[in-house]
């Protein structure tokens, strides 16, 4: 079902955590709420769940206004970061709990549990207790408990962050597959941009309680709406150089280059992704500087250069070899330059 | 552990856990010696009570005799009198009923209160509390000294209270929070109970409930509530919030969360608390002495009653003490596993 947040505000005492959040999640969509800690993403999710009251604004699930509805009447399921499995119940009882609470007939419960357990490959572990399971198995119990009810929406609060890196990658793929199969609207909170990029149909990037950009992963990456998004998404992050922009010509203290626009600003920031840059001889690059550090990452080398007062990181070939402090040039295509207004941080054109 | 003995400081060696088997002979000898002495200190009174229960008056007065069959001939006379001729069963059943029911009630109410104090933030206006106390005093004065019918006095007080809530009370900021409520509860146990005995006596006298099990159950439940709240609140505070929120989203009501999630998770703590409160009520003497007479008499009072004009009847007392101790030991045995865990809860992770 559709989930809509309508100008949501949330304050704890004098601290404003969420400031006027508008969000519309389509039926069957996988939406990721991405942000650093303290960005208000978890608070937003908890407001959708009904675990946190809404200071002002409305929460709608389907066509129903649930702003003041208790969690149990919202027809949602949530997966917690800690999994929140009931330690005194078996896997079976854990998965069955939402149905038992609703007084579903015993035979129906048993059949339903068997079915979801098979879907998440837990059918042989139903008699175990949570403490006898591995991290990944616990995670799947939490998923099964959420799935058994076919809720209007899934809410997930960093469900993969307690798993080790390898398992996380595997569960990510599994989660994506499952959401696609079930077609249930999913709102997923994470601080991990890789999870956001790989899982989401659309990503909502939050910072300090304000929505920065809501778009597909590709658009967020290729056309960041402002300086914050540009700096947040991408690893290593985008390079920024400050200067002035006159009729599309960007001028920094010791360099100038065209940008493929006709815009003019007295204070602007040019951004280049490390993979859009290449290292050249000093005289050939749009920027010139010195090598500050080189890091071999396996399939590529990260070259960090000092350009004036700025630092520019370039994703170079794995065979790249230069001494530190050696002079170097950095080149890039004009079209790959992202331009932002320095004062407002907004994207130019 | 891996360091050589020389490298460890004296303090480390003193406090390092060791098994008796791994000790050198001399410290081992002293350790066993100390343990043996302490065992005697603990066990001897129990043994003495048991032996005394097998004696008659002469053997006690001309004693001490320590070993049955060797320095005196044991007899079951005292047992015969206490169990078959004297009405011991009545007080025994009273004790069992009163302590079990009041402990379970205190546990249920106290655990619910503790849970609420942990999970709900209360902000009661201090002015409202003071107004309430003032009005209660007013009602008592009006009824007792001025002969106002109590129904009218209570109605007037209630009306005044509502009026005060919507006017005067709103002007004051100071509020009573959870910590204040908890402190107030435990402060009820700071006062020695003897202070409250007379008012309680008079209260039950007016209610015509003196010498009934109901009076004792009500009193013990009230008296032990603070202990239950104080002990169980930490157990509830140790439950991860996520579990309860998850259950709420899964569709459970607050009451259901309390009974199906919170209570089962603190069962070790509850077992330890149950045991403690049960022993407190089982052994309680002062209130029972005042509130009971013949019908609702409990075992501690019966034991004390063996101190007659002919002097203390040690052999009868010993019989009563033995049958009083027995069930407590049995219950403690059953709950031992839980109690150890409950007392350690919070001390170790997991």
In sequence order, what DSSP letters do the residues of A242-273 get, joined into one string?
EEEEETTEEEETTEEEE-SS---EEEEEEEE-
Contacts of B248 in chain A (CB under 8 A): 51, 70-72
Beta carbons within 8 Å of A345's beta carbon, 6+ residues apart: A226, A227, A228
**Cα(A224)–Cα(A270) distance, rounded to whole angstroms?**
12
| Alpha carbon separation from B274 to A281, B18, B46, B319 (Å, rounded) | 81, 33, 24, 26
Express each pLDDT in B142-197 by its tens digit. 888 888 888 888 999 999 999 888 888 778 888 888 888 888 888 888 888 788 89
Alpha-carbon distances of B31 from B16, B20, B25, rounded to whole Å? 15, 8, 10
Domain range annotation of chain A: 3-228, 236-341
Q: How large is the average pLDDT for residues A132-151? A: 89
d(CA A199, CA A181) in angstroms, rounded, equals 14
Q: Which residues in chain A are closer than 8 Å to B245, comparing Cβ atoms? A: 49, 51, 71, 78, 80, 84
> What confidence category does residue B5 fall into, taking pLDDT thresholds of 50, 70 and 90?
low
Question: What's the residue count for chain B?
Answer: 350
CA distances from A74 to A60, A194, A271, A297, B13 (A): 10, 30, 44, 47, 60
Burial class (CB in 10 A: 0-12, 13-18, 19+), A162: middle
Instruction: For residue B256, give the chain A residue with the closest CA.
Output: A101
Best B123, B250, B345 residue to mutate vs chain A (most A CBs within 10 Å):
B250
B236: Cβ contacts below 8 Å, ≥ 6 apart = B111, B114, B115, B118, B119, B262, B266
Counting Cα atoms < 13 Å in the Cβ hemisphere of B236 gives 24
Using alpha carbons, select from A79, A47, A74, A52 the residue that is nearest to residue A152. A74
What Cα–Cα distance (Å) separates residue A116 from each residue in A79, A98, A107, A113? 15, 13, 15, 5
> How does strand A76-79 pair with strand A301-307?
unpaired
**Residue B347: predicted pLDDT:** 39
Determine the pLDDT at residue B7: 62
On whether any CB of chain A is under 8 Å from the CB of B256, the answer is: yes
Name the residue facing B265 among A50, A82, A87 (closest C-beta). A87
Select from A12, A53, A70, A71 the residue whose CB has the most chain B CBs within 10 Å, as the one to mutate to test that interface: A71
Residues of A in contact with B251 (CB under 8 A): 72, 98, 101-102
Which tens digit of pLDDT belongs to each residue from B255-292? 999 999 999 988 888 988 999 999 999 999 999 999 99
Lookup: tokens for B249 = 């989203």
According to CATH, what is the number of the domain A236-341?
Answer: 2.40.50.140
Of A86, A81, A84, A235, the closest CA to residue A163 belongs to A81
Task: Count CB pairs under 8 A between chains A and B.
Answer: 55
Q: Are A51 and B247 within 8 A, CB to CB?
A: no
Give yes or no for B245 touching A (CB within 8 A). yes
Is the CB of B24 inside 8 Å of chain A's CB atoms?
no
Q: What is the distance between the alpha carbons of residues A313 and A241, in angstroms, rounded to a whole number?
A: 12
Among 3.30.2350.10, 1.10.3470.10, 3.40.50.360, 3.40.50.300, what is the CATH number of A3-228?
A: 3.40.50.300
Instruction: Give tens-digit pLDDT for B94-110.
Output: 999 999 999 999 999 99
Q: Do B248 and A71 touch (CB under 8 A)?
A: yes
Q: Look at residue A221 in the predicted model and tell me its pLDDT.
A: 93
- C-beta atoms of B249 and A78 within 8 A: yes
Strands of the sheet with A301-307, listed across from one edge: A277-280, A327-332, A287-296, A301-307, A310-316
- 3-class DSSP state of A27: coil
Give residue ranges of A with CB < 8 Å to any B CB.
Answer: 49-51, 70-72, 74, 76-78, 80-82, 84, 86-88, 97-98, 101-102, 145, 149
pLDDT at A203 over 60: yes
Residue B249 in contact with partner chain A when CB distance is under 8 A: yes
Are A189 and A18 within 8 A, CB to CB? no
φ/ψ (deg, to 5) at B72: -155, 160
Q: How far is A133 from chain B (nearest CA, A)?
A: 15
Q: Which residues on A lie below 8 Å from B250 (Cβ)?
A: 72, 77, 97-98, 101, 145, 149
| Contact criterion met (CB < 8 Å) for B250 and A80 | no
The pLDDT of residue B269:
87
Element holding A316 (H helix, E strand): strand A310-316
Evaluate the omega torsion of the peptide bond into residue A242 and state whether it is cis, within 30 degrees of 0.
no
Q: What are the structural domains, with CATH classification, of chain B?
A: 24-75 (no CATH), 84-120+192-344 (1.10.3720.10), 123-176 (no CATH)
- Among A255, A207, A250, residue whose Cα is nearest residue A229: A207
How high is the mean pLDDT of chain B?
86
Spatial separation of the C-alpha atoms in residues A227 and A267, rounded to whole Å: 13
Judge whether residue B2 has pLDDT over 80: no
B118 closest CA partner among B252, B262, B4: B262
Residue indicated by tokens 């157990």: B235
Nearest to A97 among B240, B242, B250 (CB): B250
User: Is B245 in contact with A72 (Cβ distance < 8 A)?
Assistant: no
């Amino acid at each position: 079902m559709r989930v809509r947040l309508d100008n949501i505000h949330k304050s704890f005492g004098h601290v404003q955590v969420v400031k006027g959040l508008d969000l519309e999640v389509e039926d069957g969509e996988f939406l990721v709420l991405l942000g650093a800690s303290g960005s208000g993403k978890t608070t937003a999710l908890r407001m959708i769940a009904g675990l946190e009251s809404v200071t002002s604004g409305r929460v709608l699930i389907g066509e129903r206004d649930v702003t003041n509805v208790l969690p149990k009447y919202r027809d949602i399921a949530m997966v917690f970061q800690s999994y929140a499995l009931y330690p005194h119940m078996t896997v079976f009882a854990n998965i069955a709990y939402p149905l038992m609470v609703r007084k579903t007939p015993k035979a129906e419960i048993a059949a339903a549990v068997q079915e979801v357990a098979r879907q998440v490959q837990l059918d042989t572990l139903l008699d175990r207790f949570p403490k006898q399971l591995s991290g990944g198995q616990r995670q799947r119990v939490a998923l099964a408990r959420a799935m058994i009810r076919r809720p209007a929406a899934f809410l997930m609060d960093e469900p993969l962050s307690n798993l080790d890196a390898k398992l996380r990658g595997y569960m990510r793929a599994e989660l994506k597959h499952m959401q696609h199969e079930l077609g249930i609207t999913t709102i997923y909170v994470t601080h991990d941009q890789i999870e956001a990029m790989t899982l989401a149909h659309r990503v909502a990037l939050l910072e300090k309680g304000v929505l920065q950009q809501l778009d597909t992963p590709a658009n967020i990456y290729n056309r960041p709406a402002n300086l914050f998004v540009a700096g947040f998404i991408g690893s290593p992050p985008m390079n920024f150089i400050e200067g002035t922009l006159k009729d599309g010509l960007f001028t920094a203290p010791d360099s100038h280059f065209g940008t493929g626009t006709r815009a003019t600003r007295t204070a602007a920031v040019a951004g280049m992704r490390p993979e859009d840059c290449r290292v050249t001889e000093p005289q050939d690059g749009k920027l010139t500087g010195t090598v500050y550090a080189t890091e071999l990452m396996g399939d590529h080398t990260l070259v960090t250069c000092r350009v004036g007062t700025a630092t520019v990181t370039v994703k170079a070939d794995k065979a790249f070899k230069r001494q530190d402090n050696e002079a170097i040039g950095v080149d890039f295509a004009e079209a790959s330059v992202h331009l932002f207004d320095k004062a407002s941080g907004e994207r130019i054109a | 552990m891996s360091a050589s003995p020389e490298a460890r400081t004296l303090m480390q060696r003193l406090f390092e856990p060791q098994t008796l088997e791994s000790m050198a002979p001399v410290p081992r000898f002293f350790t066993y010696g100390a343990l043996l002495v302490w065992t005697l200190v603990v066990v001897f009174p129990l043994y003495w009570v048991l032996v005394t229960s097998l004696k008659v008056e002469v053997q006690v007065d001309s004693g001490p005799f320590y070993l049955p069959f060797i320095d005196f001939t044991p007899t079951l006379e005292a047992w015969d009198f206490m169990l078959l001729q004297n009405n011991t069963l009545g007080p025994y059943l009273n004790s069992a009923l009163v302590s079990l029911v009041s402990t379970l009630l205190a546990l249920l109410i106290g655990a619910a209160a503790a849970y609420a104090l942990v999970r709900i933030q209360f902000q009661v206006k201090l002015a409202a509390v003071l107004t309430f106390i003032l009005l209660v005093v007013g009602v008592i004065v009006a009824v007792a000294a001025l002969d106002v019918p109590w129904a009218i006095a209570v109605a007037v007080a209630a009306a005044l209270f509502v009026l005060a809530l919507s006017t005067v009370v709103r002007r004051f900021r100071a509020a009573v929070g959870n910590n204040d409520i908890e402190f107030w509860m435990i402060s009820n146990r700071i006062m020695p109970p003897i202070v409250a005995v007379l008012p309680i006596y008079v209260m039950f006298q007016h209610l015509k409930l003196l010498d009934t099990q109901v009076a004792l159950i009500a009193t013990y439940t009230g008296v032990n509530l603070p202990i239950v709240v104080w002990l169980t609140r930490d157990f509830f505070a140790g439950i991860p919030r996520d579990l309860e929120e998850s259950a709420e989203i899964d569709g459970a009501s607050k009451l259901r969360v309390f009974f199906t999630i919170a209570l089962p998770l603190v069962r070790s703590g509850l077992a330890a608390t149950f045991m403690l409160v049960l022993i407190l009520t089982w052994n309680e003497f002062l209130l029972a002495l005042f509130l009971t007479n013949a019908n609702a008499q409990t075992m501690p009072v019966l034991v004390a009653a063996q101190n007659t004009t002919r002097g203390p009847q040690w052999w009868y007392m010993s019989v009563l003490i033995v049958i009083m101790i027995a069930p407590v030991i049995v219950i403690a045995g059953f709950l031992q596993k839980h109690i150890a865990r409950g007392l350690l809860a919070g001390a170790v992770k997991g």
